[in-house]
Amino acid sequence: MRTTSQTTASGKGAIARQFIEALPFSKALQMRLDEFGDGLAVISMPYDTRLVGDPRTNVIHGGAVSALMDTCGGAAVMGHPDAVLPTATIDLRIDYMRPATPGDRITARAHCYHVTRSVAFVRAEAFDADDTRPVAAATGAFTVTRNEVAP
């Protein structure tokens, strides 16, 4: 699962797409990698009645949105030029601003905005069909394995 510094961006993208879409839990939630690269990732998942958290409103469970944010945050880290797949979450905070509209696809956009020797910092937002008002926002820290250049 190691990549080298010679790996092209598109090559890494193909590996990452395959890797992310093959994660069993991401697959169970039908997540799709829409955009990837340079510390950015966009991942979306369809509305599904199996994800409902409140039977009175049919709004999906916050935990499902967390799962999407976590996956998207990890993908943003993998997409950073200095990082090597894969990564693990150290911590993730999610703020829920409003309920996602039942029936809408949920899309998360994550940005890995800073990487140190061992930690990657990520900000993310999630939207439903209305892309002007976020459903949720997240900040997270992820582990980094450095893309070491051979001496």
Partner 1 sequence: MRQAPEPVHVIKERRDKALAALVEGVPYIRTLGVSFDRRGDELTAVLNYDEKLIGNPMLPALHGGATASFLEVCAIMELSFHLLWDEVESGRLDADSLTPDTLPRLPKTIDFTVDYLRSGLPRDAYARARVNRSGRRYASVHVEAWQDNRERLFAQATGHFLMPERP
Binding segment (CB under 8 A) for partner 1, from list 8-16, 27-35, 76-84, 124-132: 27-35
Binding partner 1 (rule: CB under 8 A), the pick from 12, 13, 16, 26 is 26
Residues 100-139 that bind partner 1 (CB under 8 A): none
Binding segment (CB under 8 A) for partner 1, from list 75-83, 91-99, 111-119, 125-133: 91-99
Q: Please give the biggest Cα pair distance in the chain.
A: 61
Q: Is 25 in the site for partner 1 (CB under 8 A)?
A: yes
Give exposure, 90-106, as e/b (b: 16+ Cβ within 10 Å): eebebeeeebbeeeeeb
Dihedral pair phi/psi, residue 89, rounded to 5°: -75, 130
Q: Is 2 in the site for partner 1 (CB under 8 A)?
A: no
- The position carrying tokens 């894969």 is 86
